[in-house]
Amino acid sequence: MIHARNFARLVPGAGVAAVSDPVVDARVAASKELGGVSEYADYRALLDDVKVDAVLIAAPTALHCEIAVAAAERGKHVFCEKPMAMNPAECDTMIAAAEKTGIVFQIGFMRRFDESFRAAYEQVQAGEIGEVVLVKSCTHGPTYPKPWMFDLAQSNGPLAEVCSHDIDTVRWFTGSEFAEVYAIAGNYRTPEARASYPDFYDQVLLSARFANGSQGCITGAQGVQYAYDSRVEIIGTHGLISIGGLNAGTTVVCTREKELRRPAVVSWTGLYRDAYLAEDVEFINAIREERSARVTGRDGRAAVAVVNAGNRSIIERTPISLECASSTPLS
């Protein structure tokens, strides 16, 4: 609905034509909020609607490939939320379908559109901190995972659901591909999942070596309760860039107990509101200008490959090499 509200009200030249959700209450409520647009229980019916020129896919990850391919085959442009798919093979299928029909295919890595992230990237490109040596990125969320996420066969776990943005961030700032990863994980906050889903984890740490020699460190967590915690450090040969923090705004209260209090970031929905809008505008501009999106299926596939390698590393307790590692610089 973040995207839907943007396309309905804030993205120039765009509008919402229809919504689809198998949950009747969800789709009816969405249709009503968006001005009574058409609503469908089956996404295929939405794709057959002649009013629809492009689709936004925000379904569970296991359904992304099926929906994206069907959309591409009907000539609909596709914005697919992260994670792109369950594995690289599905990603390749989606990319091939998009290329065959010539549609715009964009992946929802909104942090690339965040003002602070863009400024940091420009500083890195300008050489302000020298060569990038290490990028550390964390995403710790306060909310508990939804029950369907417990099954790693359906969700790929927090490395996918939580850390896809971190994976893309580290790859973007290093300007290189992941060459090797080592991950450890555990279930510390979700006891109800342990019996039926012993492989589920709500805390993960992934370290990485890149093809160009730089390093990466990613931590992800669900159910931390304290705040929505999204931070990045980019360490160069002669400098450091930091992005993000726990503070929501600049207001600080000093109490008579001699304590300093300030509000923490509560949710990603507020923290990245402008970034979501910017990526939605980019999607429409790419369609109108008949060009590729700035974040492509290639970027989405790279993150999925790391998720799969990281999950394998957790299970096998060993570093995992990524066969597709390349030293080609990234834009």
**Residue 186, strand partner residues:** 203
Q: What residues form DSSP beta bridges with 139?
A: 220, 230
Domains of the chain: 2-109 (3.40.50.720), 111-271+296-321 (3.30.360.10)
Contact call for residues 330 and 175 (beta carbons, < 8 A):
yes
pTM: 0.92
What does residue 305 show for φ and ψ, rounded to 5 degrees?
-60, -40
Per-residue pLDDT of the chain (331 residues; tens, 9 = 90+): 999 999 999 999 999 999 999 999 999 999 999 999 999 999 999 999 999 999 999 999 999 999 999 999 999 999 999 999 999 999 999 999 999 999 999 999 999 999 999 999 999 999 999 999 999 999 999 989 989 899 999 899 999 999 999 999 999 999 999 999 999 999 999 999 999 999 999 999 999 999 999 999 999 999 998 999 999 999 999 999 999 988 877 778 888 888 888 888 878 777 789 999 999 999 999 999 999 999 999 999 999 999 999 999 999 999 999 974 343 334 4
User: What torsion, rounded to 10 degrees, do the Cα atoms 142, 145, 146, 147 define?
Assistant: -150
Counting Cβ atoms within 10 Å, is residue 126 exposed (0-12), middle (13-18) or buried (19+)?
Answer: exposed
Question: Whose structure tokens read 């396309």?
Answer: 7
Strands 18-20 and 38-40: parallel
pLDDT at site 260 = 85
d(CA 306, CA 160): 9
Confidence at residue 287, expressed as pLDDT on a 0 to 100 scale:
97
- What count of Cα atoms within 13 Å lies in the side-chain half-sphere of residue 312? 13
13 burial (CB, 10 Å; 0-12 / 13-18 / 19+) is: exposed
Question: How many residues are given for the chain?
Answer: 331
* pLDDT for residue 266: 79
- E strands in the chain: 18-20, 38-40, 54-57, 77-81, 105-108, 132-140, 178-186, 203-210, 215-221, 229-236, 239-243, 253-254, 260-261, 320-321
Look at residue 271 in the predicted model and tell me its pLDDT. 77
